[in-house]
Chains A and B, each alone.
Chain A
Amino acid sequence: MRKYIAIGITGIIIMFGSRYLARLFPDNWYENTQMLILALGSMITGASFMSYDHERKMKKNVKYRYEVNDERNIMIREKSAYMVNCINMLLIAGIGIVFLMLDFQIAALVIIGLLIIQPILVIVSSSRISKKL
């Protein structure tokens, strides 16, 4: 629990310190870097406080704990994640085609690379899981 608070506070410090941290980079990068650091800080803060809230609820709220650990809900989450992954793949493929039509070859290559990596990752992760089970 405490680690999430510590990470959250670190995120806030990063957000407030973005102006100074961005100065470590070249002058023409300043604005973009500052925005990037600010986004990173807010992401860290948001994620850590969400995790903190989740842990707190898991300890104190019995209904919430049952909802999270419920086997049917776990199955629903797994199935929906699989469906979302399929939709994401289709969307990425669509974007790849658009990039090819617009003649953005490098971006299209990156996307094709992502599409190729995806089934390889599925094979690797499924073999890892099958060894554990």
Chain B
Amino acid sequence: MKNRVEELRKKQNEKQEELAIIVGVSRQTIISIEKGKYNPSINLAFKLAKHFKRNIEEIFIYEEESK
């Protein structure tokens, strides 16, 4: 799954640590999400969407796994 967390965070001039505190996770989690290594839970995805004032689909882009 691709995401636009890094792009949206940078648009808002926020540091990873600041975003982490806002959504209530560790900085490492934000790093992993931005790198696409970790897919957040639905709760965290909603928190991120609420923070960036966007729909979840605008932030997280679902891609079918290649067979």
Contact = CB atoms under 8 A, between A and B. Distances in A.
Interface residues of A, number: 8
Interface in B35-55: 38, 40-41, 43-44
Contacts of A31: none
Contacts, number: 27
Size class of the contact patch on chain B? 10 to 19
Interface stretch (A51-59, A67-75, A101-109): A67-75
27 contacts: A62-B21, A66-B20, A66-B21, A66-B24, A66-B25, A66-B26, A67-B26, A69-B24, A70-B25, A70-B26, A70-B28, A70-B29, A71-B25, A71-B29, A71-B40, A71-B41, A71-B43, A71-B44, A72-B25, A72-B26, A72-B28, A72-B29, A72-B32, A72-B38, A73-B26, A73-B28, A73-B29
